Amino acid sequence: MAPRRALHFVFKVGNRFRTACFFRDVLGMKILRHEEFEEGCKASCNGPYDGKWSKTMVGFGPEDDHFVAELTYNYGIGHYKLGNDFMGITLASNQAVSNARKLEWPLSEVTEGVFETEAPGGYKFYLQNRSPPQSDPVLKVTLAVSDLQKSLNYWSNLLGMKIYEKDEEKQRALLGYADNQCKLELQGIKGTVDHAAAFGRIAFSCPQKELLDLEDLMKRENQKILTPLVSLDTPGKATVQVVILADPDGHEICFVGDEAFRELSKMDPEGNKLLDDAMAADKSDEWFARQNKSKASG
């Protein structure tokens, strides 16, 4: 097992019903766990918001060995402006392509056998129409960078990622912590990286004892630390320690202590029901509106 591993990407979602349909019914992911919170996160997991919010983890398998998505929903906020920072997630799944066609979810073939689609909110996904690998169908997350060499220095030299591919002409590089893990693709763009209001966050785990050393390294290198080492409590579950960093383009990066996170991230068999119950109770949610409309027409 690699000492560091890719965990998840955090999306802000404004429509839980449509988002759940996309991840469950189109991509074919499972609800791994769902949690409701009455006030904002100490590490701003839900963004710069202080009110009630929820977190839903979705993936093709347990977080121990799959890269998953964290869907954060702030009650009362139905839309987030997109920037150019997040360029997409690529996954291999002929079943997802088949599901999208059956459900008439918009697909656009960008290269032979690769289809572009969008999750609610405009987040791009690239579906390779082939059988998924045994390890994990999620292959890579692509983020925009303004200076590829500067970003490579940060992600490789400071954060210890291996460079798997590098193409100066196309201004792209592929990095990762292990061969069988989801990779991080950096794609150079002209101009600045704009995170807007929908900005996400990528998360990795490392041995808990490394968190303080990582924070000290960033201090010595004069790199931005968004949230110094802090403990996050989840009622009835493990308390995890995290450090939140920002790369040269302001991409948020969460490093979490691996030992406690493995305990916290165990799959909850009630996850589906908890999400559906929360959507039913939220009068601003499309799911609730459709249920009421169906009852009224019946």
Q: Give me the residue spans of the domains in the chain.
A: 5-297
Give the pLDDT confidence score for residue 173 in this predicted structure.
98
Give the pLDDT confidence score for residue 133 in this predicted structure.
86
- Rounded CA gap, 276 and 285, in Å? 11
Q: Which two tokens stand for residue 193?
A: 């990286």
- Rounded CA gap, 217 and 245, in Å? 11
Give the pLDDT confidence score for residue 43 in this predicted structure.
85
Mean predicted lDDT score pLDDT of the chain: 92
Q: Which two tokens stand for residue 149?
A: 């060499």
Q: Give the number of other Cβ atoms within 10 Å of residue 194's Cβ.
A: 15
Which one is predicted more confidently, 89 or 283? 89
Confidence of residue 116 (pLDDT cuts 50, 70, 90): very high
Which one is predicted more confidently, 290 or 257? 257
Give the pLDDT confidence score for residue 42 in this predicted structure.
85
Burial class (CB in 10 A: 0-12, 13-18, 19+), 190: exposed
Superfamily of domain 5-297: 2,3-Dihydroxybiphenyl 1,2-Dioxygenase, domain 1 (3.10.180.10)
- Rounded CA gap, 72 and 214, in Å? 26
Average pLDDT (62-90) is: 96
Which secondary-structure segment (H or E) carries 201? strand 201-206
Q: At what angle do helices 271-281 and 286-297 cross, to 10 degrees?
A: 70
